[in-house]
Structure 1
Amino acid sequence: MKFKSGFSSTLIFACLLLFSFTVTAQEMQAPVISLSPERGFWIESQDGFMGLKLGFRLQQQLIIETPYSEDESIQTNFFIRRGRLLFKGYVFDKKLNYFIQLGVDRGQITLLNAEYRWKPNSTTQVSFGQLFPTTGRQFQTSSKNLQLADRSDVTRFFFTDWDLGISARKSFLVNDHLAFKVGISITHGEGKNMATAPGGWAYASRFEVLPFGLFNANGDYSESDLYHEPTPKLSIGAAYYFNQDAYTKYGNTEWKGLNDNINEYYLDAIFKYNGFSFLGEFIHRTVENELLVTPFNTLLFSEKVSGKGLYIQGGKFISENLEPVFRISFLNPDDRAQTSRNKFIEQQKFVLGLNYFMLLHNLKFQYQLGYIQQKFMDQGSKSYLESLAQFTISF
């Protein structure tokens, strides 16, 4: 009897538990699932408790370099320029969301962005985690939204890299015709995914003025005038970056305890009107003690190099989908540091290209032809043509 009583009690409990699961399952509603170019693959619970966007970006490039010298051969490269997996979403509160970006190209997986973003309103954002410091405009423009196939050689040469820390951005709307944007960041200054910060901290600040009001769809950080601004739009920005005791960035702990600070200055502007766009940026970097003689009389050179650079670029839509573009860039890094690295001490690059947009920046084909001149300290100069084609799909 005891056995039967215990069994009956267990059976009744199991039935009640199963019934509760059934009721709960019936009460749970299926999540909302959508797929669009703007949001990618989006999943959201019916009650709005959590949401997740899954996105990707794939950019394939074909590059053919044709040197003017008969002593050098034509170089052809076909590769995946960028492969990205993107995860965006929120849990509990839509004002607090997260952003994760993985680089899956070049035979490895790299964690790029890993940040939480708090957006109390449409004009304020505070981010913390692995993020990009608030420096130059093209640094902060997504590779998806570039007017040419890649960022300028100037921007790439002075690349700051992702870092661990916190940043804050704020927009001030004075009226329909005047706005300001400010941004600050404090990071540990050692680069992405570093467990410790043995050096000092890195500080960045940025200020922008928009004398004709805001751009459509954040167009000041999306190159090409895809929305054909009906009235002129202009943004002028300036930024400063200081990395204290950055010997890890220098690439060797031999600099530890020396004056190993990095200073970077940025001045940029972007203009758009009726399908025409123009963008320019000047960057100046100073690296203290970029060359170091060890006690064994060996020469070490910093991975970061002093110098300055300037580029301008622009384009004009001639139809709904076609945009001829150009870019001119001048790069003048430090002579002594570059000579020690067996690199050029001056570079000029002139590029003409054509963009075909099938779906904004989400689906496009880009072709460009560039003429590059490089000057070396001991090897004279080098000139070559660069033909580049790129296909982008990003959702």
Structure 2
Amino acid sequence: MQTDLRSACCALLLLLGALLCARPTAAAPQPDSVRRTPAFAVEIGKGITYRSPGESFALTMRLRMQSLVGLSFDRDFTFREIEARIKRLQVKFNGYVYSPKLVYYIQLGFTGHAANARSNSDIVADAILYYRPSAAWSFGLGQTKIQGSRAQITSSGLLQFVDRSIVNGEFGSDRDFGIFIQYDLPRDKGFTFTAKSSVTLGEGRNWGRSTNGGLVYTRRLEFYPLGRFKQKGEVSEGDLAHEEQVRIMLAGAFSYNHKAVRTQGQRGDLLPDGASRNLSNWYADFLLKYRGFSFCADFMGRTCGRPLFDDEARTWIYTGWGCNVQAGYIIRKRWEVALRNSMLFPRSKVQPRAGYERRGQTTLGVSHYLVGHAIKFQADLSYNHRTRAVKNDYTRWAFTFQMEVGL
């Protein structure tokens, strides 16, 4: 772990130094049709960008850090614990090589990730190369997020709360290695849609191989009846772009994980004794933005024919469904007040393992945006409740504060 981290850091420093020390060289006269762009550009929130003369190479590097402090309390506000850590420390690279049609995206993370059941040396989060023959089509090979729920697709740096909902935490997908295809109907105004499809390994990030032949097949459709959002607002929370016209997204997705070996497909514990299960996840999303107001609703669930195992104490597969509804309003493009309510409904067969019949979380969030989502401060106050809970010693109240700085 330490050796990998040291090597990655040294490589990043050498690359950054080479870019900063480079000087544009004289180039032969080029036709006016060849695009000429500045060699270097630095902008908060958009990173450090370098483009070679012509269209042979482009690189944008971004840095992001999230620092979190959280306090937990019992039902009677008795203090339980404090959490303080660097939640995320990431470096991102994207651009094109050889041709603008060959686009790459790399993301490195230097904090451990619970999705990796093998180790915490989970440095490589994304590493994928896309071929984009036209504005409508995109073909990718590598490791990136499975295009399932809206909540999971949205980057952790573009949230209007400190973290994603408990519903996404239970049913959301994660990164995987495979083939990714996307089609965007090329239309500037009016109704349009996006279709996404992928075939992936199934066991999640940095897994390496599937020994039982199981794969994941995912399909997602997004409809925009009134046109697309500004500034890719469909993949960011809060209406920072201040849509002048009502914008709506309706989406649905289905993911079938054949012979999954982990409790949540791409995440979770390994199933006991080399067992595997077929998991089906479904997602439905609604998003609306208009003049600083945003509203979204997410529905998702999982089915599995045999979710229980012999080891009564630990391993089982959460089946059931959940819904998440949240809304927010941005004041003067700097302050946002948001409210979220999330509910989980486990199937009756797994309720004894879950320890409750229904679980809910209500969150009030306040965000202060200094430079959009790039530099912001966020505070959440959450109330947790469970119906017919086996134990009542769970955290009832939680306060979290997060600071995010990105270049």
TM bin (shorter chain): 0.7 to 0.9
Match of 1:136 in 2: 149
- 2:294–2:327 contact (8 Å) kept in structure 1: yes
User: Of 231, 235, 238, which residue of structure 1 is paired with 2:249?
Assistant: 235
Q: Which is further off, 280-289 or 303-312?
A: 303-312
Q: Shift in Å at residue 383 of structure 1?
A: 5.5
Query: CA-atom RMSD, angstroms?
Result: 2.5
- Aligned partner of 1:211 in structure 2 is 225
Describe the shift of the 1:272–1:393 C-alpha distance in structure 2 as closer, same or farther (beyond 3 A).
same
1:99, CA displacement in angstroms?
0.9
Rounded to whole Å, the distance in 2 between the matches of 1:318 and 1:28 is 49
The structural deviation recorded for 1:177 is 1.6
Deviation at 1:277, TM superposition (A): 0.4
- More divergent stretch after superposition (60-69 vs 36-45): 36-45
Matched, 1:94 2:137: no
2:53 to 46, 60, 85: 46
Distance 1:102 1:334 in 2: 37
* AA partner of residue 242 (structure 2): H
1:381, CA displacement in angstroms?
Answer: 7.0
Question: Is the contact made by 1:102 and 1:111 (CA closer than 8 Å) also made in structure 2?
Answer: yes
Give, as a single letter, the amino acid of the residue that structure 1 aligns with 2:284.
Answer: L
How many angstroms does 1:147 deviate by? 1.3
Q: Among residues 309, 316, 337, which one is paired with 2:322 in the alignment?
A: 309
Q: Does structure 1 retain, via aligned residues, the 8 Å contact 2:175–2:204?
A: yes
| 2:305 is equivalent to residue 292 of structure 1 | no
Matches within 5 A, 1:8-47: 27=26, 32-47=39-54
Structure 2: segments with no counterpart, 5+ residues = 1-23, 29-37, 113-119
SS at match of 2:234: helix
- 1:3 is matched with none
Choose the corresponding residue for 1:78, options 78, 84, 99. 84
1:123-151 deviations in Å (ceiling 9; x for gaps): 32221111222211111111111111111
> 2:176 is matched with which residue?
163
Q: Aligned equivalents of 2:388 and 2:67: distance in 1? A: 31
One-letter code of the match for 1:392?
E
Residue of structure 1 equivalent to 2:273: 254
Residue correspondence of structure 1 range 365-380 to structure 2 within 5 A: 365-375=377-387, 377-380=389-392
* Higher deviation after alignment, 344-353 or 221-230: 344-353
| 1:17 matched residue in structure 2 | none
Contact 2:308 2:316 in 1 (8 A): no
Distance 1:182 1:133, change over 3 A: same
**Alignment partner of 2:151: what SS?**
helix
When normalised by structure 2's length, the TM-score is 0.82
- Shift in Å, 1:391: 0.9
TM-superposed CA distance for 1:344, in Å, is 4.9
Structure 2 counterpart of 1:67, one-letter code: D
SS of structure 1 residue aligned to 2:318: coil
Residue 370 of structure 1, CA deviation: 1.1
Larger radius of gyration: 1
Alignment of 1:141-160 (within 5 A): 141-160=154-173
Q: CA deviation at 1:360?
A: 1.0
- What do the CA deviations read for 1:81-104 (whole angstroms, capped 9, x no partner)? 211111112221111111111121
What is the CA–CA distance in structure 1 between the aligned matches of 2:257 and 2:43, rounded to whole Å? 40
Q: What CA deviation, in whole Å up to 9, does each residue of 1:5-50 have, x standing for no partner? A: xxxxxxxxxxxxxxxxxxxx97579x91221135301122224322
Kept in 2: contact 1:374–1:383 (CA 8 A): no
Match of 1:280 among 297, 304, 321: 297
TM-score by length of 1: 0.85
Q: Which residue is 1:12 aligned to?
A: none
Q: Deviations over 1:257-277 (max 9, x none)?
A: x6x100011111100001100
Unaligned runs of 5+ in 1: 1-24
What is the CA–CA distance in structure 1 between the aligned matches of 2:316 and 2:41, rounded to whole Å?
45
1:175 deviation in Å? 6.3
- Measured against aligned partners, the alpha-carbon deviations of 1:164-196 in whole angstroms (never above 9, x if no partner) come to 101111111456121111111111112111121
Provide the C-alpha distance between the structure 1 equivalents of 2:178 and 2:390, rounded to a whole number of angstroms.
42
- How far does residue 320 in structure 1 lie from its aligned partner after superposition? 2.7
